Structure 1
Amino acid sequence: MVHTCVVAGCRNRRTPGTTLSFYRFPRDPERKQRWIAAVNREGWVPNDGSRLCSTHFISAPLSPEMKEPGALEILDKQEARVEAANALLFLQGQGRPVVDVQGQEKLAGEKEKEQQAIAEESGSSSLSTDEDDDDSVSESKKGKFAQTSDAPVKFDDMLKALKKENQALRESVDKMSLSENSLRNDAEKVKFYTGLPNYFVLETVMWLLAPHMDGMKNVKLSKFQQLLLTLMRLRLDLRNQDLAYRFGVKIGTVTRTVHRMVNIMSSTLVPTAVFWPSRAELRKNLPAALRSSHPDCAVIIDCFTVPFEEPVSRVTQQQQRVLPASQEARTTYNVLKYLIGVAPQGVVTFVSRGVLGNVSDKSLAEGCGFLCKLLPGDVVLASRDLNIGESVAARGALFRIAGSYQGEADGISESSPPADTSSETASVQRHVERVISMVKQRYAMLTGPVESPFTTASERTSNLSTFDKIVQVACALNNLCISAAPLE
């Protein structure tokens, strides 16, 4: 800023190379009034930009009373900076005081000397004029921004660079987050977190469940996040606390979300994906391995078990009293047993509710509703004897053990059974085991142990526990995957 002396008749101005100095008007009212009188301009009042040149002052060192108030402000600011720097060093452990009193006095003395030196330096520099201050500032700016002063800053380029950086950061955050955008174009990520083969299948499941989720009040999680959280619980068997951290919610929100979503999927998704196919559909797609030996095969059945942490609530005192005391019986008592029906094409067509492991296969098959699915003439195939031949025959169907000769199964003795019976038995056994293994590998929660909150009945009107529904939901999701296991 170019300053001009305000004294009447004085034409001195601050120009490059001048030796003159220019001074602000003092803030003290009495001294300020004497300066105004020296200006000799009637009715004139100075402002913040008014200056007096050095030609109107006696050529002697200025007294302390002539110091500009700005110098005092600079001193206060410098002292504040010193205090802030000392505090920062103390927090970083670099200025840690000594425990004894002598050390404390030494540190305080050094601090006082340092402040005094800064104050003296500031006091001596307080006699400098506006011109000196501005020159020093301009010199510092010139030193720091020498490059930018020569070439003009291209703000358009800076803005484009910042926008590009912002976009890259957004994409990085989206990629690391568990959102729709992060899964949309990443089939491997979808498969890892949900078990489904791609985003299209996940989106289809979401479309099927969304109308039934309108009544769920959850302001923290969107519908997609609720489904994703539940699938991650089934797929990776993550603890509720882990999911709470990942989705930024409370553990109670995770628990309620999983139970509600399992109920919705059990009533909506399971009937859609786990169903008993028609005879025409079964015969149309029957694998070549069964076309000659069992052309009327409707289902291949077997049982599998899942351990649980604590005794389920369905255990009665009578069951506890009749429980054998052997170690093997106690082991089977601490598992849930399920009957699973697999079509020859490799999809799950039936899943029973879970019962205690000490219940016989016959009791499970007769009490789970499996027999109601059979039609006269259907063939039920198994790799071992489940002792349900009479129960199946009562429905007009036939129970066959894979590899057994037809006459032997019907009670007729033959001297020369077919030679490939053992290979057929092994093939059927591998078929069911492969499907069961696939479901458990895809949804690790089915490997157990089952947590006790999931073993209680989820609804008063249903005898299915939450885990029973989880097993059925896992089988339904497995049927939606492309990688079915057809009979070899």
Structure 2
Amino acid sequence: MVHTCVVAGCRNRRTPGTTLSFYRFPRDPERKQRWIAAVNRDGWVPNDGSRLCSTHFISGKQVKNPRSPDYVPSVFTTAPLSPEMKEPGALEILDKQEARVEAANALLFLQGQGRSVAGEQGQEEHPEDREQEAIVDESASSSLSSDEDDEDSDESVSDSKKGKYAQTSDVPVNFEDILKALKKENQALRESVEKMSLSENSLRNDAEKVKFYTGLPNYFVLETVMWLLAPHMDGMKNVKLSKFQQLLLTLMRLRLDLRNQDLAYRFGVKVSTVIRTVHRMVNIMSSTLVPTAVFWPSRAELRKNLPAALRTSYPDCAVIIDCFTVPFEEPVSQGNQQQHEMGISNNVLKYLIGVAPQGVVTFVSRGVLGNVSDKSLAEGCGFLCKLLPGDIVLASRDLDIGGSVAARGALFKFVGNSECSPLADTSSETVSVQRHVERVISMVKQRYAMLTGPVESPFTAACERTSNLSTFDKIVQVACALNNLCISAAPLE
């Protein structure tokens, strides 16, 4: 809905891309009446759709603290308002302040004369007289504050006191310096709030913050991902979250495995909005990032970028593979209870992941339900079709797929601990390769905490008929694609 400011002469409207804020009239009757009086439109009464833009507040937004100058709007001019409008001159502000100081001094002088006359007429002062004087003082100060259009009541009272002292000591008050100090303090508060928020400005110059919340190395990479995804997000209608916030929310879900309710509190939306946003963004990233970031390189490219130690030991190394399981949340039925007691659990998803020696993910399978064997997973996920005759496949543990790999004319090499298998190589060079293999695999699995599980059942139940992939299968692929955009593991030299 398009809102227009109700102030006469103000043409500000809520339009896409505007930085202005529009506020409803308060529910509190007293404060609402003060707002209506400030708008100063004869016989006008606001309705539910009436809005007041932020240019009519000194700090650019309303404040609910009654002691703040922005408790009631006070910035009004006869010309149309806009964010680029120039502020009133320093001389104009100074004249207004001096007029208020003189009025306050005259009022205080009259009150002092009244007290001296009362003291001459009677030596004894009654308690009710003290109350009456307190009421007069309070009404005088409130009448002074009600005449203000540009400044708050506290500031005018303090200015009155300063004016009184200045008159006695003949030292002028520099209101321009006071105004500059207030503006500087306001700017510092704005920067502090901006730094604590999860916005583009707060992340732009803070690489550590970007890395913590998204897993990406810096803001440039995050901005590149946003640039790639933005054209595909045009059809997503979400008035609460911007495109950047939708991407950031999804990356925080994958990176930190935060609960939906936690993200709802952080971004000020409902849990249903969080769930819907994550599912939509995962689908967009799966169709956009995964095909371009997760792919099997050519043999020439693999050999060209092969680390030095692997070039000596395994010059034809094509991929480093491993299998990992992710538990998911699902109620255990009576039929599955017996299997659970026997140590057999079907509440897991098993994946096979292939990583180039440089640390780039080149293959990831879809999840297979239950305790399927490594051999069955490798033969059914399409991994073997990627191998060429003469390729070498490395693994940090024995996956029992040597025969399947040999059938494709390739060689499977286990470089794990010699205690696990007598076939493992124990040379110092192979031990160094083993450490590299383990570092590459763990880097991918630990970068995004959501891959460690347990996964919520909605992510495993929702499948698309076209791709036959669950939402969590896409999440695993997206995590691998994002990993490829980061700095890879240090190659062996």
What SS class does the counterpart of residue 128 from structure 1 fall into? helix
1:162 CA displacement: 2.6
* Higher deviation after alignment, 189-198 or 413-422: 413-422
1:72–1:28 CA distance, 2 compared to 1 (3 A) = farther
Distance in 2 (alpha carbons) for counterparts of 1:55 and 1:96: 44
| TM-superposed deviation, 1:122 | 13
Distance 1:20 1:434 in 2: 50
Q: 1 CA distance for matches of 2:270 and 2:429?
A: 52
Residue identity over aligned pairs, in percent, reads: 91
Residues 399 and 178 from structure 1, CA distance in 2 versus in 1: closer, same or farther, beyond 3 angstroms? same
1:104-152 deviation digits (Å, cap 9, x = unpaired): 999xxxx999789999999999999999999999999799555698444
* Cα deviation code 1:266-315 (max 9, x no counterpart): 1111122211111111111112222233211111111112222226999x
The C-alpha deviation readout for 1:338-362, integer Å capped at 9, x for no partner, is: 1111111122111111123410001
In the alignment, structure 1 segments of 5+ residues that lack a partner are: 324-333, 401-410
Q: TM-score, normalised by structure 1?
A: 0.62
Specify whether residues 312 and 356 from structure 1 end up closer, same or farther in structure 2 by C-alpha distance, changes over 3 A only.
farther
Contact kept in structure 2, 1:24 and 1:68, CA below 8 Å: no
Shift of the alpha carbon at 1:432? 3.3
- Further displaced range: 167-176 or 60-69: 60-69
Q: CA 1:128–1:49 in structure 2 vs 1: closer, same or farther (change >3 Å)?
A: farther
**Aligned CA distance change for structure 1 residues 156 and 275 (closer, same or farther; 3 Å):** same
Kept in 2, the 8 Å contact 1:379–1:397? The answer is yes
Q: Which moved more, 1:127-136 or 1:265-274?
A: 127-136
- Is residue 2:46 matched to residue 1:40? no
Tell me by how many angstroms 1:44 deviates: 38
Q: Secondary structure at the match of 2:235?
A: coil
C-alpha change, 1:203 and 1:309, in structure 2 (3 Å) is same
Shift of 1:481: 1.3
The structure-2 alpha-carbon separation of the partners of 1:62 and 1:289, relative to structure 1 and needing over 3 Å to count, comes to closer
Q: CA deviation at 1:188?
A: 0.9
**Structure-2 separation of matches of 1:377 and 1:56:** 75
Q: State the shift of 1:209 in Å.
A: 1.0
Q: From the superposition, tell whether residues 227 and 144 of structure 1 become closer, same or farther in structure 2 (CA, over 3 Å).
A: same
Q: Report if the CA contact (8 A) 1:342-1:432 is conserved.
A: no
Query: Structure 1's 288 and 56: CA in aligned 2 closer, same or farther, altered over 3 A?
Result: closer
1:23–1:130: 8 Å Cα contact kept in structure 2? no
Deviations along 1:241-286, one digit per CA (max 9) or x if unpaired, are 1111111111111111111111111111112221111111111111
Correspondence for 1:371 among 384, 389, 401:
384
Q: Which moves more between the two structures, 356-365 or 89-98?
A: 89-98
Distance 1:205-1:151 versus aligned 2 partners, 3 A rule? same
Alpha carbons 1:312, 1:452 under 8 Å: kept: no
State the alpha-carbon separation in 2 of the partners of residues 64 and 280 from structure 1.
58
Counterpart of 1:266 in 2: which secondary structure? helix
CA distance in 2, matches of 1:65, 1:296: 64
- Show CA shifts across 1:45-100 (max 9, x none): 99999999999999999999999999999999999999999999999999999999
Q: Which moved more, 1:234-243 or 1:428-437?
A: 428-437
- Relative to structure 1, the CA distance from residue 422 to residue 83 in structure 2 (aligned partners, 3 Å threshold; closer, same or farther) is farther
TM-score normalised according to structure 2 size: 0.62
Q: How many residues align?
A: 462
Unaligned runs of 5+ in 2: 59-77
Determine if contact 1:68/1:127 at 8 Å carries over to the other structure.
no
Distance 2:269 2:92 in 1: 51
Of the structure 1 ranges 430-439 and 79-88, higher mean CA displacement relative to structure 2 is found in: 79-88
CA distance in 1: counterparts of 2:268 and 2:296, whole angstroms: 41
Q: 1:226–1:257: 8 Å Cα contact kept in structure 2?
A: yes
Alignment check: 8 A CA contact 2:353 2:363 kept: yes
Aligned-pair distance for 1:394?
3.4
Any residues of structure 2 matched to 1:72-471 within 5 Å, and which? 145-146=165-166, 150-310=170-330, 334-400=347-413, 421-423=426-428, 426-471=431-476
- CA gap 1:339/1:165 in 2 versus in 1, 3 angstroms: same
Specify the alignment match of 1:23 in structure 2. 23
Native 8 Å contact 2:325 2:348 kept in 1:
yes
CA distance in 2, matches of 1:205, 1:121: 60
Q: Structure 2: how far apart are the matches of 1:250 and 1:159?
A: 41
SS in 2 for 1:27: coil
The structural deviation recorded for 1:335 is 2.3
**CA distance in structure 1 between the aligned counterparts of 2:349 and 2:54, rounded to whole angstroms:** 101
Residues 281, 313 of structure 1: CA spacing in aligned structure 2 closer, same or farther, 3 A cutoff? farther
Higher deviation after alignment, 3-12 or 374-383: 3-12
Deviates more, 1:218-227 or 1:301-310: 301-310
Do 1:67 and 1:127's aligned partners in 2 also have CA atoms closer than 8 Å? Answer: no
Structure with max Cα Rg: 1
Mapped contact 2:316–2:390 kept (Cα < 8 A) = yes
User: Is the contact made by 2:101 and 2:160 (CA closer than 8 Å) also made in structure 1?
Assistant: no
The worse-fitting range, judged by mean Cα deviation, of 348-357 and 173-182 is 348-357
Query: What displacement does 1:336 show?
Result: 1.7
1:437-462 superposed Cα distances (whole Å, 9 cap, x missing partner): 22333211112111111112342322
Alignment partners' CA distance in 1, 2:477 and 2:467: 14
**Which secondary structure state, in structure 2, belongs to the residue aligned with residue 105 of structure 1?**
coil
Contact 1:7–1:38 at 8 Å: present in 2 too?
A: no
User: Residue in 1 aligned with 2:61?
Assistant: none
> What is the distance in 2 between the residues matched to 1:10 and 1:395?
76
User: How far has the Cα of 1:208 moved from its partner?
Assistant: 1.1
Tell me, in whole angstroms, the C-alpha distance in 2 between the residues paired with 1:294 and 1:395: 18
Conserved in 2, the CA contact under 8 Å of 1:5 and 1:52?
yes
The SS at the match of 1:304 is: strand
> Could you report, residue by residue, the CA deviation over 1:374-398 in whole angstroms, capped at 9, with x for unpaired residues?
2232222223432323332333333
Q: Is the 8 A contact 1:75 1:123 kept in 2?
A: no
Do the aligned partners of residues 371 and 14 (structure 1) sit closer, same or farther apart at CA in structure 2, a change above 3 Å counting?
Answer: closer
- 1:172 CA drift (Å): 1.2
- Structure 1: how far apart are the matches of 2:378 and 2:10? 116
| CA gap 1:253/1:90 in 2 versus in 1, 3 angstroms | farther
Q: Separation in 1 of the partners of 2:135 and 2:177? A: 42
**CA displacement, residues 203-250 of structure 1 (integer Å, 9 cap, x when unaligned):** 111111111111111111111111111111111111111111111111
Q: Residue 167 of structure 1: CA displacement?
A: 1.7
Deviations 1:425-484 (A, max 9, x none): 544443333223223332111121111111123423222211111111112111211142
Q: Aligned-pair RMSD on alpha carbons?
A: 19.2
